[in-house]
C-alpha cells in the first residue's frame, strides 16, 4: 500500500511539474509573441519617419533652409530612438551575466543630466513639452556614468510618452547623503494601482502609449545592480513620479564595484 501511495504521489508530482513547465512555456511563448509584435510596431514608426524625411531631402522637396533643417532633425531624432531600442534589447539580454559589473568614476552629475536632456531636445520640441531640470548642488560623484545615463534616458523617454503636449516633465538629481537620488516626473494621467506591479516586467506596457516595455525593465535591472531602490508614486500634478536611489561607493554604501 505504501509503495502504491508513493507511486501515486510521484506520478502526481510529475504531472504537476509537467503542467508548470507547460504553463511557463505557453507564457514565455505569449510574451515572445507580444514582444515581437510590439518591437515590429516600434521599429516601423522611426524607420518610416527616417525614410520619409530622407526621401524629402533626396528629392529636394524641402525648399527652405528651415524645412531642410527640420527633416535632418527628424532623421537624427528617430535614429536616436532606434539606437535606444537596440541598447535596451542588449541590456535585457545581459541580465545575470557574471561579466556584468559597474565601473565607478568621478562624474559631474549636472553635466551628465544635461547631456541626456540635450539628446531629447528635438523630441521635446516636437511634442511641445517643457523640460525642467534641477540638479541643485549635486557636484561630482563616483558613479557608473553609462548606467546612470541609461536609467535617465529610459525614465525620460517614458515620461515623454505619457506627458501631454504643452505640459512639462521635471528631472532632478541630488546627493542628500551617501547616495545619488534621481527623480523624473510627468504631468500625464498617472498610473492605476494594478499597472504599478507590472511596470518592471520586460514586455509589459503601461497605459495605451505603446512601447516595447523594455525601458523600465532595464531601469530596474540597473538599479538592482547598484543595490539601490526605485519606486513610482503620484506626482504633484497627478502624473507619475519615478524616484531612483543609487548608493555611492566609498560613502558608506554597499554598492557593487
* Mean pLDDT, residues 54-74: 83
Residue 244: pLDDT over 90 = yes
- pLDDT value for 189: 82
Which residues have CB under 8 Å from 96's CB, separation 6+?
none
Region of poorest pLDDT, from 11-15, 26-30, 233-237:
11-15
Estimate the share of the chain in helix, then strand, then coil, as percent rounded to the nearest 5.
55, 15, 30
Cell of 55: 526621401
User: Which of the residue ranges 164-168, 181-185, 208-212 would you say has the lowest mean pLDDT?
Assistant: 208-212
Give backbone dihedrals phi and psi of 246, rounded to 5 degrees, phi first: -115, 115
Q: Is 120 helix (H, G, I), strand (E, B) or coil?
A: coil
Model confidence at 27: pLDDT above 60:
no
Contacts of 247 (CB under 8 A, 6+ apart): 178, 179, 226, 227, 228, 253, 254, 255
pLDDT at residue 32, as a whole number: 61
Handedness of CA 188, 194, 198, 200 (dihedral sign): positive
* Beta-carbon count within 10 A of 213 CB: 23
49-53, 82-86, 224-228: least confidently modelled range: 82-86
Query: What is the structure's pLDDT at 12?
Result: 47
In this prediction, residue 187 carries a pLDDT of 87
Amino acid at each position: 500500500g505504501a509503495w502504491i501511495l508513493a507511486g501515486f504521489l510521484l506520478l502526481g508530482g510529475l504531472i504537476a511539474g509537467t503542467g508548470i513547465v507547460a504553463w511557463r512555456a505557453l507564457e514565455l511563448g505569449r510574451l515572445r509573441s507580444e514582444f515581437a509584435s510590439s518591437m515590429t510596431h516600434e521599429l516601423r514608426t522611426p524607420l518610416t519617419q527616417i525614410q520619409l524625411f530622407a526621401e524629402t531631402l533626396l528629392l529636394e522637396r524641402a525648399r527652405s533652409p528651415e524645412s531642410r533643417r527640420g527633416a535632418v532633425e527628424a532623421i537624427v531624432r528617430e535614429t536616436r530612438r532606434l539606437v535606444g531600442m537596440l541598447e535596451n534589447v542588449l541590456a535585457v539580454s545581459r541580465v545575470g551575466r557574471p561579466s556584468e559589473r559597474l565601473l565607478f568614476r568621478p562624474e559631474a552629475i549636472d553635466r551628465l543630466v544635461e547631456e541626456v536632456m540635450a539628446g531629447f531636445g528635438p523630441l521635446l520640441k516636437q511634442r511641445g513639452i517643457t523640460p525642467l531640470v534641477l540638479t541643485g548642488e549635486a557636484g561630482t560623484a563616483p558613479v557608473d556614468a553609462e548606467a546612470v545615463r541609461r536609467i535617465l534616458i529610459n525614465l525620460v523617454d517614458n515620461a515623454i510618452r505619457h506627458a501631454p503636449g504643452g505640459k512639462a516633465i521635471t528631472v532632478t538629481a541630488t546627493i542628500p547623503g551617501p547616495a545619488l537620488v534621481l527623480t523624473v516626473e510627468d504631468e500625464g494621467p498617472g498610473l492605476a494601482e494594478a499597472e504599478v506591479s507590472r511596470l518592471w516586467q520586460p514586455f509589459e506596457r503601461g497605459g495605451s502609449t505603446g512601447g516595447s516595455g523594455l525601458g523600465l525593465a532595464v531601469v530596474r535591472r540597473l538599479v538592482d545592480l547598484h543595490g539601490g531602490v526605485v519606486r513610482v508614486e503620484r506626482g504633484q500634478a497627478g502624473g507619475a513620479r519615478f524616484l531612483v536611489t543609487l548608493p555611492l561607493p566609498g560613502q558608506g554604501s554597499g554598492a557593487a564595484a
